[in-house]
Amino acid sequence: MKPFTYEKPSSPAEAAAAAARVEGARFIAGGTNLLDLMKLQIETPSHLIDLNDVGLDKIEATDQGGLRVGALVRNTDLAADWRVRRDYGVLTRALVAGASGQIRNQATTAGNLLQRTRCPYFYDTNQPCNKRSPGSGCGAIGGFSRQHAIVGVNDACIATHPSDMAVAMRVLDANVETVRSDGSTRTITIADFHRLPGDTPHIENALEAGELITAVVLPAPAGGTHVYRKVRDRASYAFALVSVAAIVQPDGTGKVALGGVAHKPWRVEAAESQTGRGAKAVASELLADARTTHDNAFKVPLVERTLASVMAEAKAQP
Partner 1 sequence: MASFHLTRRKLLKALLAAGGAVTARPLLRESHGTTPAPAASAPAAPSTVNVLLRVNGTEHQMMIDPRTTLLDALRERLHLTGTKKGCDQGQCGACTVIVDGRRITSCLTLAVMQQGHDVTTIEGLGTPGDLHPMQAAFVRHDGFQCGFCTPGQICSAVAMLEEVKAGIPSHATASLTGGVELSASELRERMSGNLCRCGAYSNIQEAIGEVAGVRR
When the beta carbons of 232 and 305 are compared against partner 1, the nearer one is 232
CB of 21 to partner 1, least distance (A): 5
Residue 300: partners with Cβ closer than 8 Å, 6 or more residues away = 150, 283, 287, 290, 292
CB of 9 to partner 1, least distance (A): 11
- Report the alpha-carbon distance of residue 299 to residue 259 in Å, rounded: 11
When the beta carbons of 58 and 86 are compared against partner 1, the nearer one is 86
- Stated as kind and residue range, the H or E segment containing 25 is strand 25-28
When the beta carbons of 52 and 205 are compared against partner 1, the nearer one is 52
CB of 80 to partner 1, least distance (A): 4
CB of 70 to partner 1, least distance (A): 17
- Stated as kind and residue range, the H or E segment containing 165 is helix 165-171
* Furthest C-alpha separation in the chain: 58
State how far the alpha carbon of 26 is from the alpha carbons of 12, 147, 216, 250, in Å. Answer: 14, 28, 20, 45
Residue 176: partners with Cβ closer than 8 Å, 6 or more residues away = 113, 187, 188, 189, 190, 193, 213, 215, 216, 217
When the beta carbons of 71 and 153 are compared against partner 1, the nearer one is 71
CB of 77 to partner 1, least distance (A): 9
When the beta carbons of 39 and 315 are compared against partner 1, the nearer one is 39
CB of 48 to partner 1, least distance (A): 7
Exposure string of 222-249, with b = 16+ CB inside 10 Å and e = fewer, is: bebbbbbbbbbeeeeeebbbbbbbbbbe
Tell me which residues touch partner 1 (CB under 8 A).
1, 3-7, 21-23, 28, 30-32, 35-36, 39, 47-48, 50, 52, 76, 79-80, 85-86, 89, 92-93, 96-97, 99-103, 105-106, 235-237
Strand pairing partners for 59?
69
When the beta carbons of 99 and 287 are compared against partner 1, the nearer one is 99
